[in-house]
Amino acid sequence: MSRAERLLELMQSLRLRRRPVAGQALAEELKVSLRTLYRDIEALKAQGARIEGEAGLGYVLKPGFTVPPLMFSLEEVEALALGARWVEGRSDAGLTRAARGALAKIAAVLPPERAEALDWPTLLAGASRMSQSEAASLPVIREALSAGRKVELAYVDKHGLSSARIVWPVALGFFDHARMLAAWCETRAAFRHFRLDRMDKAALLDARPPRSRRALLIDWRRAEGLDE
């Protein structure tokens, strides 16, 4: 690994961590000596990276410093392409355009031999057919999540019973055969999960939930036991 590649690897390693990490752990991850790691950290600082910490206390990268993604490995390129094409086959027109745009931007900064992996992928993601109700509801739900708004649903449960719900969207789950909304339901006064293919109608409301989506997400994860 060249020094330039190693510095990018070090930046990526620090980006993935929100808490200080010991220099020894970073050195072992990069397969370099502790002395080399210290020199690399000082080199990144000299280039403007906001790395806080010192030997014996650990290091953390503060937001605000970016480097161009010139050193994606072939495996990373394949993973990005697979993920983008998975999104293309399971989302609405807006997300499909976003996925294609992201791949085009990635291809523009890649060396030719790695950009080829985007045009001739070895990993393929099959499409999942969306129902009309999913295709109509998905853009509405995404806008509600982005804007922090409530949604009114005309919903049909698994027993075929219809009901009107006002919900506070928390997150969207994309599965192989269904898209599902996690939300706080005002009718049930609890978190519930709603399949988009059972939504007869989804309407964006002007009203906003009384709590932020982040706070709701934390409570939903706790309720589902995902933080244990």
What does the pLDDT read at residue 204?
97
What does the pLDDT read at residue 201?
95
Give backbone dihedrals phi and psi of 69, rounded to 5 degrees, phi first: -80, 65
Round to whole Å and give the CA distance between 195 and 188: 16
* Count of alpha carbons within 13 angstroms of residue 61, beta-carbon side: 21
Which residue carries 């059972």 as its tokens?
198
Q: What is the pLDDT of residues 49-97, one digit of tens each?
A: 888 887 778 899 887 665 554 567 778 888 888 898 888 888 888 888 9
Domain boundaries, the chain: 3-61, 74-119, 132-223
- Note the residue count of the chain: 228
Q: What is the pLDDT of residues 123-161, one digit of tens each?
A: 777 777 788 889 899 999 999 999 999 999 999 999 999
Query: What is the identity of the amino acid at 24?
Result: Q
What does the pLDDT read at residue 6?
85
Whether pLDDT at 111 is above 80: no
Q: How many CB atoms lie within 10 A of CB 78?
A: 17
Rounded to an integer, the average pLDDT of 99-112 is 81
Q: Is residue 127 within 8 Å of 136, Cβ to Cβ?
A: no
Enumerate residues 6+ apart whose C-beta is below 8 A from 44.
Answer: 7, 10, 11, 51
Q: How confident is the model at residue 167 (pLDDT cuts 50, 70, 90)?
A: very high
Give backbone dihedrals phi and psi of 105, rounded to 5 degrees, phi first: -70, -40
Compare 204 and 91 and report the one with higher pLDDT.
204
Rounded to an integer, the average pLDDT of 37-55 is 86
CATH number, span 3-61: 1.10.10.10
Report the percentage of the chain scoring pLDDT > 70.
96
Round to whole Å and give the CA distance between 118 and 125: 13
Query: What is the identity of the amino acid at 159?
Result: H
- The residue among 36, 62, 42 whose CA lies nearest residue 54 is 42
* Count of alpha carbons within 13 angstroms of residue 135, beta-carbon side: 9
Q: Which of 18-32, 56-70, 98-112, 175-189 has the lowest mean pLDDT?
A: 56-70
Residues facing 171 on adjacent strands = 182
What does the pLDDT read at residue 183?
97
Domain 132-223 has CATH 2.30.30: yes
Which residue carries 């906001």 as its tokens?
50
Rounded to an integer, the average pLDDT of 195-214 is 95
Q: Is 5 helix (H, G, I), strand (E, B) or coil?
A: helix
Look over the chain and give the mean of its residue pLDDT values, rounded to a whole number: 87
Rounded to an integer, the average pLDDT of 100-118 is 80
What does the pLDDT read at residue 71?
61
